[in-house]
Structures are given as C-alpha cells and as structure tokens.
Amino acid sequence: MLERTDQHTLLKAKRRETNDTAVGLAFLSTVGIAMIAWIAAIVWVSWRLIEWIFF
C-alpha cells in the first residue's frame, strides 16, 4: 500500500514539475517577444528621427 502511495506522489510531483516548466517557458517567451517588439520600436523611432534631422 505504501509503495502505491509513493508512486502516486512521485507521478504527481513529476506532473507538477512539467507544468511549472511549461509555465516558465511560456512566460519567458512572452517577455522575450515583448522585449523584441520594444527594441524594434526604439530602432524604428530612432531611424525616423535621424532621417528627419539629416535628410
């Protein structure tokens, strides 16, 4: 009986660990996309400003 409980607890812990990894990966992907968009916006505004000043 104790062995089944240990196996069940172990499977539950592994499932939770996998879900935590997926949530972390999704969060970091979202942050990465937002950061790339922010940098692209800064580059675009800088380019337009330089073009307006010099040309």
Distance CA 14, CA 10 (A): 6
Q: Where are the domains of the chain?
A: 1-55
Which helix (H) or strand (E) segment holds residue 28: the answer is helix 2-54
Handedness of CA 34, 39, 45, 47 (dihedral sign): negative
pTM value is: 0.60
Give CA separation, 2 vs 8, 16, 19, 37, in Å.
10, 21, 26, 53
Buried/exposed code over 19-29 (b: 16+ C-beta within 10 A; e: otherwise): eeeeeeeeeee
Residues 9-53: tens digit of each pLDDT: 666 656 655 567 888 899 999 999 999 999 999 999 999 999 999
The pLDDT score that the predictor gives to residue 55 is 83
